[in-house]
Amino acid sequence: MKKLAVIALGLSGLASLWGAPALESGIDMANADKSARIQDDLYLAVNGHWLATTEIPADKSNYGAFTKLDDQSRDRLLALIQELAAKNNAPGTDAQKVGDLYRSFMDEARIEKLGLQPLKADLDRVAALKSLSEVAQAFGALGKIGVESPFEFGIDVDAKDSTRYLAVISQSGLGLPDRDYYLENDERYQQARAAYVVYVEKLLTLAGTAPADAKKAAKAILEIETTLAKAQWARVDLRNPEKNYNKYAVTKLPQLAPTFPWSDYFQGLGLPSLAQVNVGQPSFVQAAAELLVATPVETWKHYLTAKLISAYAVALPAAYQTAHFELYDKVLGGVPQDRARTEKAVALISGATFGDSGALGFSVGKLYVEKFFPPDAKARMDELVSNLMKAYATSIKGLTWMSDATKAKAEEKLSKYTVKIGYPEKWRDYSGLRIRADDLFGNVKASREFNYAYEIGKLGKPVDRKEWHMTPQTVNAYYSASTNEIVFPAAILQPPFFNVKADDAVNYGGIGAVIGHEISHGFDDQGSQYDGDGNLKVWWTDADRAAFVKLTKQLVAQYAAYEPLPGQHLNGEFTLGENIADLSGLAIAYKAYRLSLNGKQAPVIDGFTGDQRFFMGWSQVWARKYRDADMARRLKVDPHSPSQFRANGAPVNSDAFEKAFDVKPGDKMYKAPAERIRIW
């Protein structure tokens, strides 16, 4: 998240533009726990009443500020999509595709009538596999239509040559969220493994496998995935970009894993002439290749059958969707109730998260922007980002732990940032995608094939620096190291993150800190290894890197002490990049806020000074509740710290926070000045 707010968002400009006699504080005091002291717990004091009185909706694993905005975005999209579905749109247009995809998804009677028939041809191909070479080819062919196998194949910017694309093979193959679900013996993970076996057995039985054979096959699949889990790299190791860069000529892959039929795999992917590939985790590839040979073809057929059905559960009858919900939402997320079908329809069409643009995400995104993102909002964000960049540059100059030579290169990298706000300049072209109102399965499969073709079509072409990896309707933001860009979709640019009716303080504490967060990712433990052109390259002196590591180790220790669940602490190394971005983003946003005042005193609104509202604005965006199962999952797979520790973890290191609320020794939010961590 990122950047700084500017003078153009000053009081007089906003008041005259919006015709308001006075600006609001932007702090929702109805959410506050007035019995809690900010000096002891900023998060609880600002959000405590909301936390105590809010129930997580039955169809959600967690709920908070982000979720509420996501709900709003989804409701808006649903209205747009249903409007298109009610019309007779011209064939081949985006409107026709969006409307017909929705209609095909909502035609439950037809879906139930067809049963597993739409998947029969693909299931028959799996059932016909006779050799390990054919299994390897199936890994590639099924990957093209979104089916998981031990290898995940994709296209990314070459980390050491940001002008070109490079094919990538990464570890994959697990049906549970993380390797630890297979390897740890905590009761929660034992229950997850047992539920997974039941799920796989259910899918195989529904597909016609005899119950006894399905039970045996499900246990064998768990054994396969446990072996894969043992070979997978831990998530901390996956954060090391240098370690995960291992470029091979495809002709040399047999030297890495001689037992794997590589030519068959690439034939399945439709890339028989591929020249180079980055193997993210070579030791895993070696282990997976050995597992291929050690496992009977019949077992691999069961494995791929289960993966195929699971991947297409969204397009199959209720029995398959219910089985999917029971495992992935109920057991692993603690969610008692499934989502409404209309909500699932929006997710399929629109997508939701980073890298997930849905079947037609940018098509509906264009409609979303036209209706819900006015040009003046983009203009204000442009100014905010500009000021935050200036504040970050000033901060770099003032660093005491970094040499002048490295500072100059850091400033150069900052000057090369690309900023994307709201929506892409060029919209995605879906003209090659065929959608029918009476064929949900065919639509889902076609969209996956279309997206795969889109990705491999990048090979051999210059990197498209205008491409977006999030749709405008996504409530999120991101930094890309390989393109050195920060991106803010339209949907996050609203309260509590950005409130055009509020005084500057809360906007700097909200969207300003989000902007600062995303800027800071270019200088966190991962992003700092890339130069201003997006290349993985050493640009620090050894002494500066050592000083940086010393500071980050202090941050690792701070967050590792937090205990979200009894006996389960945060992994300070896994969450380090996000914690650096939170710490630095908040610090830079505060500097930008002070600059925006032009030496004047901020007004006192609702009894709070500007500095106080800044930190309260930061805290209120993190209001969130989690179910225990979801929290346990996040501790393994989410590089972000849980919201409570994001809200409190950065301010305890801030001199400005101490001064704003007169925090003293003995207060729980007090940290001695010598112990406060300051990185950027």
Distances (CA, A) of 285 to 95, 149, 246: 43, 12, 12
Higher pLDDT, 386 or 453: 453
**pLDDT of res. 13:** 26
**pLDDT of res. 22:** 58
- Helix crossing, 282-294 with 132-143: angle to 10°? 130
- Other CB atoms within 10 Å distance of the CB of residue 230: 12
Length of the chain: 680
| Type of residue found at 463 | V
Q: Is the pLDDT of residue 6 over 60?
A: no
Judged by average pLDDT, the poorest of 26-30, 353-357, 560-564 is: 353-357
Q: Is the pLDDT of residue 623 over 90?
A: yes
496-512 average pLDDT score: 91
Measured CA to CA, the distance from residue 523 to residue 235 in angstroms comes to 20
Report the percentage of the chain scoring pLDDT > 70.
96
Residue 345, C-beta contacts closer than 8 angstroms, at least 6 positions apart: 78, 81, 102, 105, 106
| Type of residue found at 411 | E
- Asked if residue 598 lies in contact with residue 487, where contact means CB atoms within 8 angstroms, the answer is no
**pLDDT of res. 353:** 63
Cut 0.85: pTM above it: yes
**pLDDT of res. 379:** 80
Q: Token match 């940018």: residue?
A: 362
Cα torsion through 343, 347, 349, 352, rounded to 10: 140
Report the percentage of the chain scoring pLDDT > 90.
91
* Among candidate residues 155, 242, 247, the one with its CA nearest the CA of residue 535: 242
Contacts of 187-190 spanning 24+ positions with Cβ under 8 A: 188/629, 188/632
**pLDDT of res. 7:** 20
How high is the mean pLDDT of the chain? 94
529-555 average pLDDT score: 97
pLDDT tens-place string over residues 410-466: 999 999 999 999 999 999 999 999 999 999 999 999 999 999 999 999 999 999 999
Distances (CA, A) of 203 to 172, 214, 332: 20, 9, 18
Q: Is the pLDDT of residue 667 over 80?
A: yes
- All domains of the chain in start order, with CATH: 7-26+45-73+361-675 (3.40.390.10), 119-338 (1.10.1380.10)
**pLDDT of res. 374:** 82
- Asked if residue 396 lies in contact with residue 411, where contact means CB atoms within 8 angstroms, the answer is yes
Alpha helices (runs of H) in 341-460, residue ranges in sequence order: 341-350, 361-372, 375-397, 404-415, 440-456
130-159 average pLDDT score: 98
**pLDDT of res. 375:** 80
Measured CA to CA, the distance from residue 240 to residue 536 in angstroms comes to 11
**pLDDT of res. 5:** 25
| 350's tokens | 């629109």
Residue 635, CA atoms < 13 Å, CB-side half-sphere: 25
Band the pLDDT of 133: cuts 50, 70, 90.
very high
Band the pLDDT of 500: cuts 50, 70, 90.
confident
636-659 average pLDDT score: 98
Band the pLDDT of 16: cuts 50, 70, 90.
very low
pLDDT tens-place string over residues 571-613: 999 999 999 999 999 999 999 999 989 999 999 999 999 999 9
Residue 83, C-beta contacts closer than 8 angstroms, at least 6 positions apart: none
DSSP three-state, residue 500: coil
Band the pLDDT of 354: cuts 50, 70, 90.
low
Give, in degrees to the nearest 5, the angle at Cα 352 between 486 and 309: 135
Examine residue 496 and say whether the peptide bond preceding it is cis (omega within 30 degrees of 0). Answer: yes
**pLDDT of res. 14:** 25
**pLDDT of res. 378:** 80
- Asked if residue 528 lies in contact with residue 584, where contact means CB atoms within 8 angstroms, the answer is no
**pLDDT of res. 86:** 97
Measured CA to CA, the distance from residue 415 to residue 450 in angstroms comes to 36
